[in-house]
Copies of this chain bind each other. A is one copy, B any other.
Amino acid sequence: MSEVRVIQINESVFAENDRTAELLRNRMTDQGTLFLNFMSSPGSGKTTTLVAIINRLKDRLNIGEMDVDIESSLDAQRVADLTGIRSLQIHNGGLCHIDADMTARALLEYDTKGLDLLILENIGNLVCPAEFDTGAHKNITILSVPEGDDKPLKYPLMYTVSDVVLINKMDALDYFDFDLDKAKERILALNPRAILFPISAKTGDGLEAVCDWILDEVTAVKSDT
């Protein structure tokens, strides 16, 4: 009897996406590039944080960055202007997320060979981006103090899928009703392995620890090569 090839066509969009994401992740591992996906609400300070991190690491690592927005190119321009690294703006045409296929499509126009670190700044949204694996090695969510310590209760999936949570705008802590211990407790209840870094992208406080974590992860990916 001849061998018959079976393809499954009734799988969910998430299963298809997960497979593309795994292929992307493996490719990044093979070429020794750590791929990080940054997510958050609009206005939590993603771009400011990324600029600060990139400027602290760009002499030690070869870094690339991709920004997702609906139709503006402000973020990629800001990252390029303020850091001098190569930045790509992805317009996702009004969707509330970027998935692995869109990331793969973007990488056809953005050469990542030789990069030690590839950063994806996802669209500002706590719902949809959490549902789609982008192919990144690690997911990082930024929660900013003015948003409130109840966000993990209201957007649990985001915190469940995040390996790292940066608690940003710590310089404004005295100004808002934000209980840092409660926020930590709520994040860890959803994801006990989450690593938390309180930071202020504005003052720079706490960013050294984040950069050390990134450097360790780059070393880990390169040792898997």
Contact = CB atoms under 8 A, between A and B. Distances in A.
Contact of A96 (B127, B147, B169, B176): B127
Interface stretch (A5-13, A20-28, A70-78): A70-78
The 10 closest A-B pairs by CB, nearest first: A43-B147, A146-B146, A96-B127, A41-B42, A41-B41, A43-B148, A96-B96, A96-B128, A72-B154, A42-B126
A156 B42 contact: no
Interface in A22-36: none
How many copies of this chain sit in the oligomeric assembly? 2
Q: Secondary structure of the A side of the interface?
A: loop
B42 A74 contact: no
Interface residues of A, number: 35
A144 B148 CA distance: 12
A172 interface: yes
B154 A70 contact: yes
27 contacts: A41-B41, A41-B147, A42-B147, A42-B151, A42-B154, A43-B147, A44-B147, A69-B154, A70-B127, A70-B154, A70-B155, A71-B156, A74-B150, A94-B127, A94-B131, A96-B96, A96-B127, A123-B127, A124-B155, A125-B125, A125-B126, A125-B127, A128-B128, A144-B146, A146-B146, A146-B169, A175-B175
